[in-house]
Structure 1
Amino acid sequence: MKKNTSGPRFKALLEKAKITTTGFAAFFDTEPQNIHNWYTRGVPAYRMEEVSRLLSVNSDWLKTGEGPQDSKHLRLLDEAGNTFDAQAIRGIYTVVEPTDVKLPLFKEIPIAPGSCKTHVAEDPGQFIRLPKSHLDSLEIKYTDVFCVHMIGNGMGERIEDGSTLAIDRGLTKVIDGEIYAIEHDGMLRIKYLHRMPGNALRLRSYNKAEHPDEIFNAEQIDKQNIRVLGWVFWWSTLNKRRPAVPFL
């Protein structure tokens, strides 16, 4: 079996196309470090055909450097399932980065069938899509993000009941006055958080008239299973009322 020496050729193809390591990693839904490792270790065998198709090169050439670089019989599939000749795009090695990312949706789910006790967990098969540029602008890893729906009027009129929110699990350290998603003994809550002396925590609502501040000391935080899930960095709100068009 011929040795896999694809690393330098793979790296050169990306450099020629001005595709960054991070960009290619995002396209493959993997970590940039994995792609960086391919530069020295070579493209993994199970990825060789896929990478070769995307870069419009012969997989044997990519693996060993032998034979023709171009694959004259290569066929590609577009998003609609149609095939086209890779020769039409050869010489322009382009990987189109996704313009948005698919993020898992979490919600309160019973911990067991029939149980009244809940926990915050992923809702299987449910996703929300957000522009990748939103995450990039805040230097948020998309693998750290999940979405939830706002429940209740505690944050209205800032965040209305039913709004979709995006949460960054990479930021759980409490920055005073920022909005966080927390799990409170299995209940999903969206609140402004403030640190208090003695490792206490204050939860504050936008709608303070109906939802006064709550302060929990360190013992209560532990006993009531209060856990910061992440920082709320995006939300969308649907206007609940369509304005009436006046008769003209």
Structure 2
Amino acid sequence: MSIQERISQAINQSGQTKSAIAKACGVNPSAVTQWLNGDTKAPTAERLLKLARATRVSYTWLVDGKGGMHEGPEEPRAGYAARANEFEFQETEIVDGDGPLSPDEVELPCFYEVEFAAGEGRTQVVENHGHTMRFSLTKLKKRGVSPESAALATASGNSMETTIADGSPIAIDKGTRHIIDGKIYALDHGGMLRIKRLYKLPLGRVRVVSDNSEEYPEESYTLADPDAPRIIGRVFWWETFD
């Protein structure tokens, strides 16, 4: 089955109108008609990702025909027609901007802290769907991260120096919340966004470790306790500025 045939099958099985599909993918209905008829080349990777989301099919199946039509997790890859050894030359860093996305970019939501109420001095970690940043699909593919599970944030403070500096952008895989010893995780701890290494302990406890251990002593919690941090996801990428 060709990619055009899979696109047509995904759209038809969704039961949605061409207008609805077009709106979800950010194109004109005439473009959807062309996709259905195979009258044009396949959409970009970004359009295919939006189409997979809109029709609730596997991105990998849609692009490559691999796996089941509705299987997951996904592993989108930039430049789906490109050879594997070309991926190294398609790296795209996260940027702000209003221009059109390149085939190797996806917009990801950003986590940040906001105050609960004025004057209370308390914060809450939220995912800001109004603010996004662009990120490389190539980077996500290399780490096996689905775009639907990815988000961005900014590290605050020096607790993870020298690994992650204050103000460094980080990428979070919300699909990985189980603890892998020694990996770095984003935590919602009483409304505070914290970035720490986690280690499993017996009896459902966890070690919370800062790389800057001189200033930030190790902590431990029972995950079921109300004062324990909530795991947002694993930090799989960060950028450090000098």
Bigger CA radius of gyration: 1
- The alignment's TM-score, normalised by the length of structure 2, stands at 0.65
Relative to 1, partners in 2 of residues 1:124 and 1:92: Cα closer, same or farther, differing over 3 Å?
closer
Partner-residue secondary structure (3-state), 2:181: coil
Runs of 5+ unmatched residues, structure 1: 1-10, 22-34, 63-68, 70-89, 240-248
String of CA shifts for 1:24-82, please: whole Å, max 9, x gaps: xxxxxxxxxxx85434455524346657533673x9xx5xxxxxx7xxxxxxxxxxxxx
Written as runs of structure 1 = structure 2, the 5 A alignment for 1:197-236 is 197-218=202-223, 222-236=225-239
Runs of 5+ unmatched residues, structure 2: 46-102
Written as runs of structure 1 = structure 2, the 5 A alignment for 1:58-97 is 91-97=39-45
Partner-residue secondary structure (3-state), 1:223: coil
1:119 CA displacement = 1.2
- The two structures, once aligned, show a CA RMSD in angstroms of 2.8
- The alignment's TM-score, normalised by the length of structure 1, stands at 0.64
Relative to 1, partners in 2 of residues 1:160 and 1:46: Cα closer, same or farther, differing over 3 Å?
same
Among 223, 237, 242, the residue aligned to 2:240? 237
CA distance in 2, matches of 1:197, 1:132: 37
1:112 CA displacement = 3.1
Partner-residue secondary structure (3-state), 2:120: coil
CA distance in 1, matches of 2:124, 2:225: 16
* Equivalent residue number for residue 32 of structure 1: none
* Equivalent residue number for residue 154 of structure 2: 149
Structure 2 residue identity aligned to 1:54: A
* Equivalent residue number for residue 99 of structure 1: 104
String of CA shifts for 1:197-227, please: whole Å, max 9, x gaps: 1111101111112212111234xx5221420
Q: How many residues align?
A: 181
Identity %: 31
* Equivalent residue number for residue 82 of structure 2: none
Among 174, 184, 193, the residue aligned to 1:169? 174
